[in-house]
A and B are shown apart, each in its own frame.
Chain A
């Protein structure tokens, strides 16, 4: 039998936690060869990152424990190595890059120093390492590498930081690179660039790449083979094409079905009365112009999607419309009144009509309040909506409406999963019986399969109650099945606004086209066609 570069056999890892022993991965096996890319696909809680932590010897023991298995690198078991031999493997033969480069780079040392250390830790002289670090920074596409050497991580953009991480990881030309969600926190256009860079460097060095991701699109773009994990077990494996076209396990099928951008688009129909009319809104923070004159209209019962990358001003727009921040100029007509001119008392009344669902439900729900208190707080603040005697009944009704059970009322937010928490947040917004709900990245913190469910819920609520939505997202496919109108923003300005069919089928502006091209399709054939077109 030919020896694989990496061969993981029957690996099981468990963690001791407050709620007992959690078997994070159970008996999983996979292998990887030089020059090949293997993706581990899974949602949160699938244990997809655990095996790579075991490969890198990064599991804290306790509370973790490896209960069975072997990990062979070129035929040598990493788990039974002597500590000093083991240390020599990390960085030299196996390297790793992580999801959030800002927290994974040491904030108090210059990046040049940190890249150099990757080499000096394995015996390279300081001067040689310095020269190589400089070359690497240039190679990964950091502008002005000489100056960049002395800069600190916080002085780079997210994409640049990930490039720095890549330079650091590839300093010693490792045999194996592990990439744990390397592009998750990045903008779509930056994600495409970083993935292309990884592929290029893989060809150059000939290393095997193990990529861990929750995103079918990333798998389709970069991987040769894929293994799918669910709740600590490996449920399916094969070539990317095989698994996508012919999934065997029901979980894989569910995952593929949940990928956004597959359903029917809304027809662009003329809707009822004008609800909100925004004209020339501007907002600056210091010298930074977040909004440079934004205007749009929203009809009752309509869903407007606002799509843009970081720095596009989409979240600022939401904050300004909700009067969480004051705009510098412009107006927003709501039922004929300018939102920005309302007195505190009028504003208080307006709050009933205009609600918001935030990105991360873990943070938007007060951890010390029960679900009942969270939802009924609306009526404490606005006592004329509902007499106190009916609160319990109405909370139960709302919980059922968002797909939860009435006996969840007494529980605290941390007892729920991410998707359930977002449902609670939606119930809270509904308690005020608003006309418009602004969803700021309301599904981007959720797993793909949960995302689909929450979007479905929002769409149903719109049909049942006639509420309008402004739905803010950083990625186009998410809004495809849900929006009536789509507005694309970049650097504080509207690039393009139009019906959902027009934006997706006939985008006018180059930036919209670039965004569409950069978003990854879960179908490996489509993705291959994209790549061919780019090349």
Chain B
């Protein structure tokens, strides 16, 4: 709504730096703020977890088998209860954070980088190259992705690296299609034409004019995809073909607790809750990013008032 700008208006709006503005917009959305703080804690735990509680997480304690949660007579480390071998669940969840987040982060980075690269290529090269890339994406999309992951991991053996690669391959088309669609649209925009008229090279147009415009969309997408990949990883680990013991992830912990469901529900409940809260935070943050990075919608957050959707 540009109701007040006229030609002779000398008082231009001053604008704060990018970081300050993002911070303000984060404060304006309390759900996104909580989500961001939660994710920050998770990242810190992922970094220090294994050093901090690595010992406790594998120490078996036969007298504490399937210990119920909230039994404050034992130490604080037992507040979530213990698993079938008497290992404190709290410690195990924190130690598992590292693997869980690392696999997801690795897969997201791999797929985002290669997908974006292929998308730029498809959007900026000849129709034939573009067609080949798009058909390849179709093939990947129509592959039963989880099953392919199952087969490949079964054949190649499962390691953290293989898991990352397999998960990332199935997600490449998402970035590829988005990037290509945006490139096709942006390269027809007037400012790109203006750069061409000035004699800018293809590389300059691609990296200086097109990529910065696509980037916010990709960031939002990657945040959302992080949640998706986390769920996929936990599903694979749950099936027993993802991460192998003694390494642990949250998905694997749910799987390990499954046989004790009837008498010790907390074995599967806590890691499930960890997954839900992390995914939820990522989804919330992604929704916030979508608005915060969109110049047209940003005012909703900058107004700081009641949110209108």
Q: Taking the complex as a whole, does A directly touch B, i.e. does some CB pair lie under 8 Å apart? A: yes
Q: Using CB atoms and an 8 Å cutoff, list the residues of chain A in contact with chain B.
A: 15-19, 22, 24, 43-45, 47, 62-63, 231-232, 322, 324, 347-348, 351-352, 354-356, 358-360, 363-368, 377-378, 380-382, 408, 411-412, 414-420, 425, 428, 432, 447, 449-450, 453
Q: Number of residue pairs across A and B with beta carbons under 8 Å? A: 106
A358-B190, A368-B212, A419-B7 known; A432+B198 contact, CB < 8 A? yes
Say how far B198's CB is from chain A's closest CB, in angstroms.
Answer: 5
Complex CA distance for A411 and B12, rounded to whole angstroms:
9
Taking a contact as CB atoms closer than 8 A, the residue among A16, A44, A365 that contacts B305 in the complex is: A16
Residue in B195, B199, B295 whose Cβ sees the most chain A Cβ within 10 Å: B199
Q: Which residues of B contact A432 (CB under 8 A)?
A: 198
Taking a contact as CB atoms closer than 8 A, the residue among A19, A355, A408, A417 that contacts B7 in the complex is: A417
Nearest A-chain residue to B303, judged by Cβ? A18
Q: Is B6 an interface residue (CB 8 A)?
A: yes
Complex CA distance for A231 and B195, rounded to whole angstroms:
35
Q: 3 closest A-B pairs (Cβ-Cβ)?
A: A351-B199, A18-B299, A364-B190
Complex CA distance for A420 and B1, rounded to whole angstroms:
17
Taking a contact as CB atoms closer than 8 A, the residue among A17, A351, A360, A449 that contacts B198 in the complex is: A351
Nearest A-chain residue to B210, judged by Cβ? A366
Taking a contact as CB atoms closer than 8 A, the residue among A324, A363, A447, A453 that contacts B197 in the complex is: A324
Q: Is B298 an interface residue (CB 8 A)?
A: yes
Complex CA distance for A418 and B302, rounded to whole angstroms:
23
Complex CA distance for A39 and B298, rounded to whole angstroms:
35
Flag if A416 contacts B15 (CB, 8 Å): no
Flag if A381 contacts B190 (CB, 8 Å): no
Flag if A15 contacts B3 (CB, 8 Å): yes
Flag if A381 contacts B7 (CB, 8 Å): no
Flag if A381 contacts B199 (CB, 8 Å): yes
Q: Is B76 an interface residue (CB 8 A)?
A: no
CB-CB contacts below 8 Å: B152-191 with A: 189-191
Q: Which residues of B contact A22 (CB under 8 A)?
A: 1, 3-4
Flag if A417 contacts B6 (CB, 8 Å): yes
20 additional A-B pairs beyond A19-B4, A355-B197, A358-B194, beta carbons within 8 Å, are A17-B303, A18-B298, A22-B3, A45-B2, A45-B3, A63-B308, A356-B194, A358-B193, A360-B190, A364-B191, A365-B191, A367-B213, A377-B198, A381-B198, A411-B15, A417-B6, A418-B5, A420-B7, A447-B7, A453-B7
Flag if A415 contacts B15 (CB, 8 Å): yes
Say how far A254's CB is from chain B's closest CB, in angstroms.
Answer: 11
Q: Which residues of A contact B199 (CB under 8 A)?
A: 347-348, 351-352, 381-382
Flag if A231 contacts B190 (CB, 8 Å): no
Q: Which residues of A contact B258 (CB under 8 A)?
A: none
Q: Which residues of B contact A347 (CB under 8 A)?
A: 199
Give 27 pairs: A residue, B residue, CB < 8 Å, sorted on A: A15-B1, A16-B305, A18-B298, A18-B303, A19-B4, A22-B3, A231-B4, A324-B193, A347-B199, A351-B197, A358-B190, A363-B191, A365-B191, A367-B191, A367-B213, A368-B213, A377-B195, A380-B204, A382-B199, A408-B12, A411-B12, A411-B15, A417-B5, A417-B6, A417-B9, A428-B198, A449-B7
Complex CA distance for A474 and B12, rounded to whole angstroms:
32
Q: Which residues of B contact A17 (CB under 8 A)?
A: 1, 3, 299, 303
Q: Which residues of B contact A44 (CB under 8 A)?
A: 2
Q: Is B209 an interface residue (CB 8 A)?
A: yes
Q: Is B200 an interface residue (CB 8 A)?
A: yes
Say how far B185's CB is from chain A's closest CB, in angstroms.
Answer: 12
Flag if A363 contacts B2 (CB, 8 Å): no
Flag if B197 contacts A412 (CB, 8 Å): no
Flag if A363 contacts B190 (CB, 8 Å): yes
Q: Using CB atoms and an 8 Å cutoff, list the residues of chain B in contact with chain A.
A: 1-7, 9, 12-13, 15, 189-191, 193-201, 204, 209, 212-213, 295, 298-299, 302-303, 305, 308
Q: Which residues of A contact B190 (CB under 8 A)?
A: 358-360, 363-364
Nearest A-chain residue to B201, judged by Cβ? A381
Taking a contact as CB atoms closer than 8 A, the residue among A62, A355, A367, A428 that contacts B308 in the complex is: A62
Q: Which residues of A contact B295 (CB under 8 A)?
A: 367, 414
Nearest B-chain residue to A412, judged by Cβ? B15
Flag if B191 contacts A366 (CB, 8 Å): yes
Complex CA distance for A11 and B145, rounded to whole angstroms:
61
Complex CA distance for A367 and B3, rounded to whole angstroms:
20
Complex CA distance for A425 and B195, rounded to whole angstroms:
11
Nearest A-chain residue to B13, judged by Cβ? A415
Q: Which residues of B contact A417 (CB under 8 A)?
A: 2, 5-7, 9
Say how far B15's CB is from chain A's closest CB, in angstroms.
Answer: 7
Q: Which residues of B contact A453 (CB under 8 A)?
A: 7
Q: Which residues of A contact B189 (CB under 8 A)?
A: 363
Say how far A409's CB is from chain B's closest CB, in angstroms.
Answer: 12
Say how far A247's CB is from chain B's closest CB, in angstroms.
Answer: 19
Say how far A21's CB is from chain B's closest CB, in angstroms.
Answer: 11
Say how far A127's CB is from chain B's closest CB, in angstroms.
Answer: 41
Q: Which residues of B contact A382 (CB under 8 A)?
A: 198-199
Say how far B101's CB is from chain A's closest CB, in angstroms.
Answer: 31
A415-B12, A415-B13 known; A16+B303 contact, CB < 8 A? yes
Nearest A-chain residue to B192, judged by Cβ? A366
Q: Which residues of B contact A412 (CB under 8 A)?
A: 15
Say how far A299's CB is from chain B's closest CB, in angstroms.
Answer: 22
Nearest B-chain residue to A348, judged by Cβ? B199
Flag if B194 contacts A45 (CB, 8 Å): no
Say how far B34's CB is from chain A's closest CB, in angstroms.
Answer: 24
Taking a contact as CB atoms closer than 8 A, the residue among A43, A367, A381, A416 that contacts B12 in the complex is: A416
Flag if B299 contacts A366 (CB, 8 Å): no
A18-B298, A364-B191 known; A324+B303 contact, CB < 8 A? no
Q: Which residues of B contact A363 (CB under 8 A)?
A: 189-191
Flag if B299 contacts A324 (CB, 8 Å): no
Say how far B274's CB is from chain A's closest CB, in angstroms.
Answer: 37
Say how far A417's CB is from chain B's closest CB, in angstroms.
Answer: 4
Q: Which residues of B contact A354 (CB under 8 A)?
A: 197
Nearest A-chain residue to B212, judged by Cβ? A368
Say how far B7's CB is from chain A's closest CB, in angstroms.
Answer: 4
Q: Which residues of A contact B1 (CB under 8 A)?
A: 15, 17, 22
Flag if B198 contacts A364 (CB, 8 Å): no
Complex CA distance for A107 and B14, rounded to whole angstroms:
40
Taking a contact as CB atoms closer than 8 A, the residue among A19, A364, A368, A420 that contacts B193 in the complex is: A364
Complex CA distance for A512 and B197, rounded to whole angstroms:
32
Nearest A-chain residue to B204, judged by Cβ? A381
Complex CA distance for A22 and B5, rounded to whole angstroms:
11
Flag if A47 contacts B194 (CB, 8 Å): no
Flag if B200 contacts A381 (CB, 8 Å): yes
Q: Which residues of A contact B200 (CB under 8 A)?
A: 377, 381
Q: Which residues of B contact A418 (CB under 8 A)?
A: 5
Q: Which residues of B contact A449 (CB under 8 A)?
A: 7
Q: Which residues of A contact B198 (CB under 8 A)?
A: 351, 355, 377-378, 381-382, 428, 432
Flag if A24 contacts B3 (CB, 8 Å): yes
Complex CA distance for A256 and B51, rounded to whole angstroms:
78
Q: Which residues of A contact B197 (CB under 8 A)?
A: 322, 324, 351, 354-356
Say how far B227's CB is from chain A's closest CB, in angstroms.
Answer: 28
Nearest B-chain residue to A23, judged by Cβ? B3
Complex CA distance for A232 and B4, rounded to whole angstroms:
9
Nearest A-chain residue to B2, judged by Cβ? A45
Q: Which residues of A contact B303 (CB under 8 A)?
A: 16-18
Q: Which residues of A contact B302 (CB under 8 A)?
A: 18
Q: Which residues of B contact A408 (CB under 8 A)?
A: 12
Say how far B210's CB is from chain A's closest CB, in angstroms.
Answer: 10
